[in-house]
Amino acid sequence: MLSSRFQLVRIASSFTTRALCLGSAVLQGKAPDMAEGNSHLHVTNVRNRLRETVGASTNWRDHQQAMAERASLSSQLARSQDDLPVRRMKDSYVEVHLPLGTQPDLREKYLTFHDSVRFGRILEDLDSLAGLICYSHTKNDALQRSPLSIVTATVDKIDMRKHIIYPDCDIKFTGHVTWVGKSSIEAKIQMSQFHDGAYSPVLDATFVMVARDPENKRAAYVNPLMPEGPEEEKLFHEGETNKKRRVELSTASLLKFAPTAEERKTIHSLFLDTLDSKTVSFHSRILPPKSVWMGGAKMKGLEICHPEERNVFNRIFGGFLMRKAYELAWANTCAYGGCRPNLVAVDDILFQKPVEIGSLLLLSSQVCYTQDKYIQVRVHTEVLDPLSRQHHTTNVFHFTFSSPEEVPAIMPRSYGESMLYLDGKRHFDETLRGQ
């Protein structure tokens, strides 16, 4: 049943909404009305455009000086949202091309040893593009540099519409702002690929960015958004709904509140399934057939955060963190299922704290829920200060994968693992519900 529902979504992907593809004109290679005033970019120019917007430098020492000078831009911030001009969705429309088919040299960066596309690289491009879209929304032509520090708060959702991404076919990203709060901005991005004479959808992504002051210390106001027409009104309303859903999920966190009655029954049932019928003891546990203990479904990684991976604000690039988390999750899933998995969705990536250059980044991947051919993986990242030996959580990632064959059931042993199981099930159910 689950497989058929995902298939229906891929077949009936919403190409009619301007938030995702802005009409068939985009797919036919024509410039849509929403593209007014925005040139089409090569993917390698996106981060250069971001550097120009905030006044960052590609040179490490010059970059440090430029970031120190940004404090003087605070006087250019708006004192209220009413002081900023209203923007339309078309004002932030951006189209970016990744010519894997026509530029073989570029292809090497995106190629896997399986002769497919490195999805972690795509995540990096999506994160950069989301930032550029938001800066397009807040652009003030009278200012040489933007006083805003726009950073990723949440990757609300990435839904895969297609499992195959060809390594030798051109890719196109299109996106624009769909909702704003006082300091937060929602941007939707669609990725499509040219194959068999036409562009077809690959994924839909929703990013939530936040605007901060030049030193990234406090919130800053962003331009209000005025929807035009029923389609844009619908998109804006969906943004409001998404915000409420995120608040509800946060307040219902298992780190704050006990599981529901139904969830408690689920955990108790799993516990009973692992009891040894011969001893009938709480301390004697056995693994059911075709199952794996959760403790045996982990994979860990370590990254030393060098200046090479910095963003335009002198912190570690969020796209780099997503790439590393995804690749660790993929490797863990591959080892767990014994075959190459396909990504179904990325859900609810939280950027809790920035990662400083020079940090030791610890990544921990855990298979936390399985159902039929589907595997839910959670990646937790934290920064270790080697001098004080203190740990600080920076990010939590949630990935849903599918396997060609049915996978073993994951079994928790401790109460903590049971909570991870329920959290994974919640995210899996949310992914299904969102489809």
Instruction: Name the helix (H) or strand (E) containing 313.
Output: none
Shared-domain flag, residues 111 and 224: yes
Shared-domain flag, residues 8 and 156: yes
Question: Final residue of a domain: which of 180, 211, 230?
Answer: 230
Asked whether residue 236 is assigned to any structural domain, the reply reads: no
| Cβ atoms of residues 381 and 186 within 8 Å | no
Shared-domain flag, residues 392 and 270: yes
Asked whether residue 51 is assigned to any structural domain, the reply reads: yes
Shared-domain flag, residues 189 and 265: no
Shared-domain flag, residues 133 and 273: no
Shared-domain flag, residues 137 and 278: no
Helix/strand/coil percent split, the chain, to 5:
35, 30, 35
Q: Could you report the per-residue pLDDT of 26-62, keeping only the tens digit for each?
A: 333 333 444 444 558 999 899 889 988 988 777 767 7
Residue entry with tokens 């920076």: 394
| Cβ atoms of residues 367 and 348 within 8 Å | no
Burial degree of 98 (CB within 10 A; 0-12, 13-18, 19+): buried
Range of the domain at 69: 2-230
**CATH number of the domain where residue 204 is located:** 3.10.129.10
Shared-domain flag, residues 108 and 183: yes
**Dihedral sign for Cα atoms in the order 314, 315, 319, 325:** positive
Q: Which two tokens stand for residue 415?
A: 């109460």
User: Please, which residues have CB within 8 angstroms of residue 143's CB and are 6 or more apart in sequence?
Assistant: 76
Shared-domain flag, residues 352 and 421: yes
DSSP code per residue over 284-304: -B-PPTTEEEGGGSEEEEEEE
Asked whether residue 237 is assigned to any structural domain, the reply reads: no
Shared-domain flag, residues 430 and 327: yes
Shared-domain flag, residues 210 and 268: no
Asked whether residue 247 is assigned to any structural domain, the reply reads: no
E strands, 26-124, where?
40-42, 94-98
Give the separation between CA 239 and CA 220, rounded to whole angstroms: 19
Shared-domain flag, residues 184 and 273: no
Contacts 24+ apart (CB under 8 A), 63-69: 63/310, 63/314, 64/314, 67/313, 67/314
Asked whether residue 244 is assigned to any structural domain, the reply reads: no
Shared-domain flag, residues 353 and 214: no
pLDDT < 70 positions in the chain: 1-39, 60, 63-64, 434-435
Which residues partner with 303 through β-bridges? 361
Asked whether residue 254 is assigned to any structural domain, the reply reads: no
What pTM does this model have? 0.86
Question: Final residue of a domain: which of 230, 250, 275?
Answer: 230
Asked whether residue 243 is assigned to any structural domain, the reply reads: no
Q: In total, how many domains does the chain have?
A: 2
Which residues partner with 315 through β-bridges? 356
Question: Final residue of a domain: which of 181, 208, 230?
Answer: 230
| Cβ atoms of residues 231 and 18 within 8 Å | yes
Asked whether residue 21 is assigned to any structural domain, the reply reads: yes
